[in-house]
């Protein structure tokens, strides 16, 4: 068999290719599957965070900000630990981006505060004088669409088996409760009150006290979750 192949370079090359390809598949696929599993500690977004993610997409934040830190020293020195595939396990769609007009936001929750985001979204130049980012004042008056966020969470739970209403880390506690829409909205409002407490804008505080959730509150909750 080998003597026959040695006399026929084309078939020999095909045989080598198939052998190497098969070996590569056997080596790569198990590791790829392992790396694609949720990273330890990764949880689905809460309803408030998911609502803020919708605001992030709606206002095209991903057009100027990536969420993908590459494994280069220049990247990790500035933004922190490089991104792992398992960290995106519950992202639909991915917001990796391909352009950085502004900095990467993959781990912005580690170094920016609620107060900083409030000032930045209202008047970017107040915190970054050289910023070319527009102000997003409408986020302070527009109300967030919690119902759509709940609908997405309910869908990914049913279709993609996203672990809402489950004990992910095995401590006997539900990590990210979903429940009914009324329960989810009440939980989102609780989280919103924590965010609003760290903000200066009294109108925002008053809105949350009335049971409303402005877009800026949801967006900050999402940005704070990026770690």
The pLDDT tens digits for 102-142 are 999 999 999 999 999 999 999 999 999 999 999 999 999 99
Per-residue pLDDT at 35: 60
On whether the CB atoms of residues 213 and 47 are closer than 8 A, the answer is no
C-alpha–C-alpha distance, residues 168 and 162, integer Å: 10
Dmax (CA) for the chain in angstroms is: 85
C-alpha–C-alpha distance, residues 201 and 119, integer Å: 10
Q: Which helix (H) or strand (E) segment is 222 a member of? A: helix 215-225
The least confident of 23-27, 162-166, 179-183 is: 23-27
CB atoms near residue 205 (< 10 Å): 15
The pLDDT tens digits for 49-71 are 999 999 999 999 999 999 999 99
Taking alpha carbons only, the member of 194, 193, 65, 201 closest to residue 139 is: 201
Is the pLDDT at 32 greater than 70, yes or no? no
Taking alpha carbons only, the member of 40, 32, 23 closest to residue 170 is: 40
Is the pLDDT at 11 greater than 90, yes or no? no
Q: What is the mean pLDDT of residues 172-198?
A: 95
Q: pLDDT higher for 98 or 120?
A: 120
pTM above 0.75, yes or no: yes
CB atoms near residue 219 (< 10 Å): 27
Residue 151 in tokens = 């609908």
C-alpha–C-alpha distance, residues 195 and 206, integer Å: 13
pLDDT band at 219 (very low <50, low <70, confident <90, very high): very high
């Amino acid at each position: 068999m080998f003597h026959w192949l040695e006399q026929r370079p084309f078939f020999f090359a095909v045989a080598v290719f198939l052998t190497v390809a098969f070996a590569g598949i056997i080596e790569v696929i198990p590791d790829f599957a392992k790396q694609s599993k949720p990273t330890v500690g990764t949880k689905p977004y809460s309803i408030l965070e998911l609502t803020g993610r919708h605001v992030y997409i709606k206002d095209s934040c991903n057009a100027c900000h990536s969420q993908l830190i590459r494994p280069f020293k220049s990247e990790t020195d500035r933004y922190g630990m490089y991104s792992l595939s398992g960290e995106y396990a519950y992202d639909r769609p991915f917001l990796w981006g391909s352009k950085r007009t502004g900095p990467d936001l993959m781990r912005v929750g580690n170094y920016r505060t609620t107060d900083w985001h409030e000032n930045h979204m209202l008047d970017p130049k107040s915190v970054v004088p050289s910023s070319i980012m527009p102000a997003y004042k409408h986020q302070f008056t527009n109300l967030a669409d919690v119902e759509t966020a709940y609908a997405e969470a309910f869908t990914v739970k049913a279709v993609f088996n996203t672990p809402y209403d489950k004990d992910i880390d095995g401590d006997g506690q539900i990590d990210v409760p979903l429940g009914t829409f009324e329960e989810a909205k009440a939980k989102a409002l609780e989280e919103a009150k924590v965010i609003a407490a760290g903000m200066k804008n009294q109108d925002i505080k008053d809105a949350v006290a009335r049971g409303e959730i402005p877009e800026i509150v949801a967006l900050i909750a999402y940005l704070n979750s990026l770690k």
